Each structure stands twice: as structure tokens, then as C-alpha cells.
Amino acid sequence: RRVHGDPIFNQLTPSERDTLQAALAAEESWLYSASAEAAGLGQLRGRLAELTTVYQSVVGQYEEEIRMRELKTKIDTLTVRLGTLLFEVQHWVDTHPLPTAAHQEATEHLQGLKEWMAGVGKARAREYTQEQLGELEGRWAALQTYQDGLVYQVSAAQKETVPPAEPLALPPAEPLPPVTTTNNVEVYEAICRRAKIKPNSALRTMFADPCLRKVDLQDNFVGPKGALAVVETIKSIPSVEELNLSGNNLDNTDIRSIVDHLSDHPNLHSIDLSNNPISVIAGQLLHQLVTHNKRLRALNLNGTLLMDSQMEAIARSLAN
């Protein structure tokens, strides 16, 4: 504890510091004695328990004070963030063309949340608790999901269409080999040059397989650009049946490129996009993909930010 700025050590009185120092010195002397060398496990545990009791009697009260101070800071900070998000969602509801029934439901929902926050403020004035923090975290996550749902409703009502993204969203620096080429390695290398990324040696070896059926990039850390280079290469490899892009930090923009390249793939039947930070817009795109490409039978979206209703709609389309 003798570290400058330590929040507990700086609060101890001289008497409390002396008590701790004496206890530590006594245990250190005993550890280097013949008694310690001959001590069994039970005796060692007993000495540790005694030292812990001394420590708790002196330091315990300060640790609780610091724990409560940290808890108060977390609750106050999250309360401000939740209040700010609530204001932003309310402003969005007031300025976007939601259907009348949906607008009324959203207004009532947000009003209920405001009243709940007022109650939390009164409870916080009496006591800060871990339960308060847990409920605030839950409300924060729920409001973010609710906001996504409102955006999705407006988007669906207006029947917005998402323009197809250019491959890798990068301008071509040189023409690609024709997709009819049988040399998939050359196709992959050309795409990487255009995207200004270094080809991956392991992927070169994989694409050399003329009967490639499964492409697994789970947690491969090639990055979004690297993953999209693989997707564009797969577009020209009709033998591929399974694609795993789990945990590659793909976002909604990346999903646009994936849908654009793979919507007409002749044999691809399984795609794993789990554990990527994709949300409502990606859900719309992927629903279009499974509706268009009836060869797809499996699409793993666990660990994403899609709404439950979108996951269910995609599952129904895959089942049909």
C-alpha cells in the first residue's frame, strides 16, 4: 500500500499504519524461522487467517468507502448517458414520420422511461446500490435496441432501398482477371492489389485447391478488407458451399458488399456471420439475400445486434 496516491493508504492514521506494519513484520520474521519451515498446511492457513483479520479490521472500512464511491460514480455517469440517449430518441420520434399508432406507442414508452428515471433519482438520493447499476445497464441496452427498432419501422414503411456497394468500396486500380479464369489464386491476388492489401499466404494456399468447398476465416484477424477480398474471390469459385466469417469485425457496410457479391452464388448454402457488430441495416440486407438466393439454408447471426424480429424473419425465409 506504500504507493503515492493509493486511496486507502493515504487515509490511514499513523496508529493504523503502525498496526499493519507490526503485523507484517511479525509474519515476515516467522516465515524465515525454523517454526515456519516445520509448519504444516493447517498452521500456514491459520497464520494467513490471522493476518487477514488484522488487515480487515484496519482497512475494511476504507475499502467499503471507496467501493461505494466508485459505485456512485458509475451510477451517476450511466444516469447522465441514459438521460442523453432518452432525449435523442425522443427528438428522433418527434422529427420522423412514424405511423400514428407507432408514434403514440413510442411516446408512451419514452414517458414511462422518464418516470422510471425520476424514481431512480429519488432512490439514489437515499442510497446507491449494485441493483440500481444493474437495472440502469439493462435499461440502457434496451433503449438502444428500441431505437434500432424505431429506425427499422420508418425504413420499412418508406420501403427504402440500399444502393449496391462497389466491391470493397474501393476504386479499381487495375482491371480484374475475368471471372471465368480457373486460376483462383491470381484472382485473389488481383483483388488484394486493387484493395491495397497484402495477400495472405495461407489464403493463397487455400485458393489453390481446385475443389474448394469450405472457406473458414473464423477469428482469422485478416480484417474487414481482407475478409471482403476473400468474399469477392469466392464469387468466381462456384464449388464453395460454406463460408465462415465469424468474429471478423464486419460492419453494416461490409454486409452490403457481401450481399452484392454472393446473392447469385450457385452452390453456397451456409454463411456464418456470428460475433460481428452488425445491426438493423445489415438485417434488412441479409433478409434480401436469403429471399433472393434460395440455395442458402443456414445463416448464423448469433452475437450480432440484429433485432429478434429480423432474426425470426430471416429464419422463416431460410425455412421456405
Are the C-beta atoms of residues 306 and 282 closer than 8 Å to each other?
yes
pTM of the model: 0.48
Q: What is the pLDDT of residues 209-247, one digit of tens each?
A: 989 999 998 877 677 888 889 999 999 899 999 999 998
Rounded distance, CA 80 to CA 254, Å?
33
- pLDDT of 157 reads 60
Q: Return the pLDDT at 97.
A: 80
What the block records as the C-alpha cell of 37 is 519451515
pLDDT in tens, the chain (320 residues): 443 445 566 677 888 888 888 888 888 888 888 888 888 888 888 888 888 888 888 777 777 777 788 888 888 888 888 888 888 888 888 888 877 887 888 888 889 888 888 887 777 667 788 888 888 888 888 887 787 777 766 766 654 444 444 433 333 434 444 444 568 999 999 999 888 888 988 899 999 998 999 999 887 767 788 888 999 999 989 999 999 999 888 888 889 989 999 999 999 999 999 988 888 888 889 999 999 999 999 999 998 888 778 888 999 999 88
DSSP codes of every residue in the chain: --STT-TTGGG--HHHHHHHHHHHHHHHHHHTSHHHHH--HHHHHHHHHHHHHHHHHHHHHHHHHHHHHHHHHHHHHHHHHHHHHHHHHHHHHHHS---HHHHHHHHHHHHHHHHHHHHHHHHHHH---HHHHHHHHHHHHHHHHHHHHHHHHHHHHHT--PPPPPGGGS--SSPPPPTT-S-HHHHHHHHHHHHT-PPPHHHHHHHT-TT--EEE-TT---HHHHHHHHHHHHTT-TT--EEE-TTS---HHHHHHHHHHHTT-SS--EEE-TTS---HHHHHHHHHHHHH-TT--EEE-TTS---HHHHHHHHHHHH-
Residue 289, amino acid: L
Output the pLDDT for position 173: 37
Q: Rounded CA gap, 243 and 304, in Å?
A: 17
